[in-house]
Chain A
Amino acid sequence: MKSKEILTRGIVKENPVFVLILGLCPVLAVSTQAENAIGMGLATTFVLLGSNIVISLLRNVIPSRIRIPCYIVLISSFTALAKMAIEAYAYPLYQALGIFLPLIATNCIIFARAEIFASRNNIKDSVLDAVGSGVGFTLALLAIATIREVLGSGSFFGFALPWLEDNTTMIFALAPGGFIVLACILAVVNYVSKGQATKRQLGCDGCPSAMSCGKLKEINDGI
């Protein structure tokens, strides 16, 4: 595969949020402000990059039977590093992200990239893959956050917008708004790709746990 394709694949064709439907929890939760969305996106990209590099480096050292615990340890420690750095140097962001900062450790996008890509490819490709998926994740977050902040809070990156600031639609800032905006964007993705992009069923296909479980998939397929 060409380098360029590896890089761009995560941004458009296999966008982790809009196409693969992964990592929805942070996407929905921190997308009320565009600023926080960028912060979350960058923090996640950092962890993704770190874990992809290390896992790619160690791909011949880690025995396959213990690869899952190894990934868990590596990903969660990169998360802890990011958490400490953000608390020290970007405290407002630290407060805004709250519990979703440590939760990067359970973001299935990172796990999926480690299992599917980094454990089988060289460092250069793994870096490109991480950057691609990270940017794709950040852009998706930013898109949702922009809609929610403009409509829900009447501002953009904290700057109040004329008229909108006096006519906010509060539901967009609250929980249901997150679901609605994501649903509408996915519907657009569906429409543009003529139903191809999100054709697959929700659930196990993209779930990295499916690798360690595999059983649930059979059950789901059976029903």
Chain B
Amino acid sequence: MKQTYVMPLIVLTVICLVVSAALAVMDSLTAPIILAANAQRAAEAMTAKIPHATGFEAVDIESFDEMPRSIREVYNTTNNVGYIFIASANGFSGAITVICAIDNDGKIIATSTLSHTETIGIGTIIEQESFLGPFSNQDYNLHGIDTVTGATISTKAYIGIVKEIFEAFHLIIG
């Protein structure tokens, strides 16, 4: 009786412990690389948006009570030429993450999609220049920007995110 219950329990526990230890070791090896790579990609994406920025510093978004839920990260430029916003919200099938640069006058410098899981061929319009290009130089009214037929939900979600980015921008500017 004892044998039939004790032995399996010991084996399973030992396996679980060994496995957890192995995973923890692997995590400690890879986590710094992953973090560094993510930071690198973010920095590259930000520099691509505002090439004449000398550097970026994170804005503490926790300190704003009315910050929209979609806003993930906000960066100020060290030479005060504009702000970078990273925001995400649900599109058609999961999160769309947007990076958007706004200058001090409240006009979009450039915007693009960091990641999304929208349907290939339909939702992927939010990666294309034909949709993203017109955002440049827009203020919060987004004149002439409209949803795209056949991809209404994806594009509507995208426009919604940009609008919330403007809300956040006005909160931070004060």
Interface residues of chain A, those whose CB is within 8 Å of chain B, are 32, 58, 61-63, 65-66, 69-70, 73-74, 77, 80-81, 84-85, 87-89, 91, 95, 98, 170, 173-174
Chain B residues whose CB sits within 8 angstroms of the CB of A80 once the complex forms: 23, 26
Check B23–A66 contact: CB distance below 8 A.
no
For the residues of A in contact with B, the DSSP-based class is helix
Q: How many A-B residue pairs have CB under 8 A?
A: 55
**Complex Cα distance A91/B41, Å?**
11
Chain B residues whose CB sits within 8 angstroms of the CB of A170 once the complex forms: 121
**Which of B12-20, B53-61, B73-81, B144-152 forms contacts with chain A?**
B12-20
Q: Mark B27-44, 1 if CB is under 8 A from A, else 0.
A: 101100110010001000
- Between A and B, 27 residue pairs with Cβ closer than 8 Å are A58-B15, A62-B11, A62-B15, A63-B11, A65-B4, A65-B8, A66-B8, A66-B11, A69-B12, A73-B12, A73-B15, A73-B19, A74-B15, A74-B19, A77-B19, A77-B23, A84-B27, A84-B30, A84-B34, A85-B26, A87-B34, A89-B33, A91-B41, A98-B117, A170-B121, A174-B120, A174-B121
CB within 8 A of A88: which of B22, B34, B121? B34
Chain A residues whose CB sits within 8 angstroms of the CB of B7 once the complex forms: 63
Distance (whole angstroms) from the CB of A156 to the closest CB of chain B = 18
Known: A77-B19, A80-B23. A61 touches B33 (CB 8 A): no
Q: Verify if B115 is at the interface (C-beta below 8 Å from A).
A: yes
Known: A62-B11, A66-B8. A173 touches B22 (CB 8 A): no
Check A91–B37 contact: CB distance below 8 A.
yes
**Complex Cα distance A79/B52, Å?**
43
**Complex Cα distance A206/B162, Å?**
50
Chain A residues whose CB sits within 8 angstroms of the CB of B19 once the complex forms: 73-74, 77
Distance (whole angstroms) from the CB of B4 to the closest CB of chain A = 8
Distance (whole angstroms) from the CB of A75 to the closest CB of chain B = 10
Chain A residues whose CB sits within 8 angstroms of the CB of B37 once the complex forms: 88, 91
Q: Mark B114-136, 1 if CB is under 8 A from A, else 0.
A: 01010011000000000000000
Q: Which residue of B lies closest to A87 (CB)?
A: B34
**Complex Cα distance A62/B9, Å?**
10
Q: Which residue of A lies closest to B119 (CB)?
A: A174
> Which of A32, A62, A74, A77 is most buried by chain B, counting CB atoms within 10 A of its CB?
A77
> Which of A61, A81, A88 is most buried by chain B, counting CB atoms within 10 A of its CB?
A88
Chain B residues whose CB sits within 8 angstroms of the CB of A91 once the complex forms: 37, 41
CB within 8 A of A63: which of B8, B16, B117, B120? B8
Chain B residues whose CB sits within 8 angstroms of the CB of A62 once the complex forms: 11, 15
Distance (whole angstroms) from the CB of A51 to the closest CB of chain B = 11
Q: Which residue of B lies closest to A71 (CB)?
A: B15
CB within 8 A of B26: which of A70, A74, A84, A173? A84
**Complex Cα distance A136/B121, Å?**
31
Distance (whole angstroms) from the CB of B34 to the closest CB of chain A = 5
Distance (whole angstroms) from the CB of A100 to the closest CB of chain B = 12
Q: Which residue of B lies closest to A86 (CB)?
A: B30
Q: Which residue of B lies closest to A85 (CB)?
A: B30
Check A66–B12 contact: CB distance below 8 A.
yes
Chain A residues whose CB sits within 8 angstroms of the CB of B27 once the complex forms: 84
